[in-house]
Chains A and B, each alone.
Chain A
Amino acid sequence: MTAMKWLLLLLLAAAPAAAYDRSELAEFNDLYKTGRYEEALEGYKNVIAQEPANPWAHYNAGNALFRLNRQGPAVLNYSRAFLLDPRSADIRANLDFALRQTGQSLVPANVPSALHYLYYFLSAAEIKTAALLLFWLACLAGAAGFLLDGSRAGLAAGRAALTAAGLLVLSLAWLGARQSSPFASAAVVVKAGGTRMLSGPGENFKTYAAAPEGRLVRILDAADDNYYEIGLPKEGIKGWALKTEIERL
């Protein structure tokens, strides 16, 4: 019961910091509503510059870009919003819609949507936070268990520590599994018309494939100054693309 009170207190302490500031986005949304997408986009970009972790600024920017028929940057912004707040139905719907415009889909065809929702229920930052909190809990409960060694309270603390440690391992496994998700080490083709995939990092290499605009790609190597080595897992091909035509999530 005491633990519940502490948790509640912690959440209440965090809540004021997440208070809404509706006025700023509402102002740019008015521009969006009247079809002034470019101006609205500028406003959303300003909000993103100030609050890079604000999913709704990315989401709204994605909407403005979608209206401007810039599929690649729209997918990029929706993806960023999704990574920040994967539980939002609006963000998921628009990301899926934008992906479908480019021949992709958020939920793979052979994966049940409920399982996909569960897999992305927490963002990577939230899983890391959960892992850290479980680490704290395991350590503190373990410490209490050692201090109260031999007593009933000590035994309970020890069990709590083991449970927290087990959950910690699970959360780390979840985090590890997410490394194979299409959004891990990912980037989006933002150049209108798509990007060329070369067989090496330079114009002297042959173009042997093309990734269309809005396509989610995996970054395999970012060491070169001008080129990313990118992979298309679905097609099983990789190549080098200009960094100016690809943007990392």
Chain B
Amino acid sequence: MKTLTPLLAAALLALAVPAGAALAVTAEVDRNTVEISGNLYLTVTVSGDSHNMPEPKLPNMQNFNVYDSGRSQSISIINGRITSSVSFTYILTPRFLGIQRIPAITVFNGKEKAIAPEIQVTVTKPAQPSQQAAPQPAAPQRQPRRPAGRPAAQGGEPIFIKAEPDKRSAYPGEQINLSIKFYTSVPLSSNPRYVPPSFKNLIAEDLPPVRNGETDIGGVRYAYSEIKTAIFALTAGPAEIQPLTVIAQIPSKAAVDPFDPNFFQNMLAMSGAQGESREFTTETIRLDIKPLPAGAPADFAGAVGNYSITASADRTEARTGEAVNFSVTVAGSGNLKAVTAPKLPELPDFKVFDTMSSLDVRKEGDVISGKKTFTYILVPRTEGRKTLPAVRFSFFDPRAGAYKETRTEPVAMLVEKGAEGAKSVYFSPTPAQGAVTASGADIRYVSERSGAATLPHLAAKVMALPPWTHALPAALLALCFWLASFNRFKSANPLLFRFRRARSEASRDIEEAETLIKAGKPNEAVSVLYDSFMNYLSDKCGVKVSALTMKKAAGLIKERFPATGERSLEEIRELWTALELRHFSPEAAGTEGTSDLAKKYSLLLEMLEKELRK
């Protein structure tokens, strides 16, 4: 049965997953009316297949500044069906007054697409202007618009920037709030651009929204904008906040009043006004990060802050082989992102599968707080009344300067024997015992390969060839094309080529005949001359030798070459007659007469070549 259970569970999982795979998305805000200086939480919940859960892609929202505020995941397993949902929380700070729109939010997992409808939010003026961060009690509630270009501050810069942490010494993981204030007493022609600082041995978390206000410094009225950032040291030792920069446009023409209440809402945005660009930079701020004191509890895993811990199971009764969600929640203030899963006590009566963590961060009152929930999938092995023992969690409280330990209440559960074919599931279809959980990401290690692979190397060699070498195959192709065309033309026009080569073949025959004459073979020489003459006339007239008669030859020559003289035709007839006589009466073919015929034939060729021209 033990070996059967996982198989059964896997089979049921295959049935269960599609049942819970329909993708859906919802979006909601914690309030529909918000002050311009306040913020609201947007929660986007995506539900569907837990193995293919897409992250929502927020549309471009010009009317809000958007800050990520964590995510939380929940899985319900009811009668073997898995329902998984992930909630993504964002903090939105409005930038403009009036009715503002959060456009429709779309998620796509590669197969399915789901859309959450748009949301409208009303952004109002601050209920009590004095609540804006204008610390000067003497400052008027709402200053009348002052003329642009009034005198600069006396005894101080008209524009300056200040960066100040709330503490210079802290423990690793203890929250330090960095306040960055940009002051101006002159109108700017566009919204300044903020280039955030880089950190050494520190990590940062935004603390929205951007605060705006007015204050008097040295008798000069300044408008200021404040950005707050929570920073946490990573390890003991020195830490640095590197210089940050604000680039501002000093106006040359049209000015914008810095005391406009909406002016700094667009702190990070750009505008189209003209002006001179100036940079304002802070100094490097050095912090002293103290080491945590000795005497940490054995289960201390680096959590710094002030936390409480609770545990719960999603049911109090279960059957063997069925999955139970056991959640341990760490809540409180501190860098929750760095909090790791508490170690579960020994649970011999349960199989422990994947751990999921959900993070819900809040930033109320400039304090990073919230909760982190670790969900374990437990599968009871044996029936009976079981108790999940208390889970301990140790942390360092920087305010008290001491380690503290907190623990959950034990959770009781009644486990009954699972029925045959009970619907049991594993959270993950992968073998749970060897499950790998990614805890971070980093670049891959350096390589020792120094040479290029064969293909890139071959490419480099080919590319290094002189360009003219690539003309060679084209030239070869052109040459072969010409040859092929020539051959085709030659095949299509055989008479033309016979006409052209008739003279050279006849000359060759005359040479052969003369050789035979010298060798004392006049009869053979006459035969060669006769055949040659017939072939010559055939080539020139364009008819076969068998179809050639003296009369026909003369007629064709006259027809094709009208310029041919009567003398030439007469010479043809004479030579034809003489050769025919010698050819068919060999006894008459003496050496001397044959030689004369060869010469006569040669002279006739010279004459005909001049006259038989196309």
Contact = CB atoms under 8 A, between A and B. Distances in A.
B460 A125 contact: yes
Contacts of A126: 455-456, 459
B454 A18 contact: yes
Interface stretch (A143-151, A173-181, A214-222): A143-151
B453 interface: yes
A193 B244 CA distance: 9
A129 interface: yes
Interface in A111-128: 112, 123, 125-126, 128
Contact of A11 (B198, B247, B454): B454
Given A85-B452, A196-B277, A14 B480 contact: no
Contacts of A10: 458
B443 interface: yes
Contacts of B272: 208
Nearest to A81: B447
Main secondary structure of the interface of B (DSSP, over half): mixed
Interface stretch (A92-100, A182-190, A224-232, A241-249): A92-100
B450 A53 contact: no
A55 B477 contact: no
A47 B455 CA distance: 20
A11 B458 contact: yes
A125 B484 CA distance: 35
A15 B458 CA distance: 8
Given A15-B454, A149-B484, A206-B249, A94 B444 contact: yes
Given A55-B456, A149-B487, A60 B447 contact: yes
Nearest to A27: B448
A198 to B, nearest CB: 8
Interface string B438-476: 000111111111111111111111110000001001101
Contact of B451 (A29, A54, A90, A208): A54
Contacts of B527: none
B568 interface: no
A64 B446 CA distance: 9
Nearest to B491: A150
Contacts of A6: none
B274 A206 contact: yes
A149 B448 contact: no
A19 B453 CA distance: 9
B449 A20 contact: yes
B61 to A, nearest CB: 15
Contacts of A69: 198
Contacts of A209: 270
Given A63-B443, A69-B198, A14 B458 contact: yes
A18 B277 CA distance: 52
Given A125-B459, A207-B247, A209-B270, A60 B452 contact: no
A54 B455 CA distance: 13
B451 A19 contact: yes
B275 interface: yes
Given A85-B452, A142-B477, A206 B446 contact: no
Given A11-B458, A136-B470, A149-B488, A97 B443 contact: yes
A160 to B, nearest CB: 13
Interface string B272-293: 1111010000000000000000
Given A56-B447, A196-B247, 6 more contacts: A14-B461, A24-B450, A60-B446, A129-B463, A192-B198, A207-B247
15 contacts: A11-B458, A15-B454, A22-B448, A25-B450, A26-B448, A53-B460, A57-B450, A123-B456, A132-B462, A133-B462, A136-B473, A142-B480, A147-B483, A149-B484, A193-B198
Interface of B: 57, 110, 190, 193, 195, 198, 245, 247, 249, 270-275, 277, 441-463, 470, 473-474, 476-477, 479-481, 483-484, 487-488
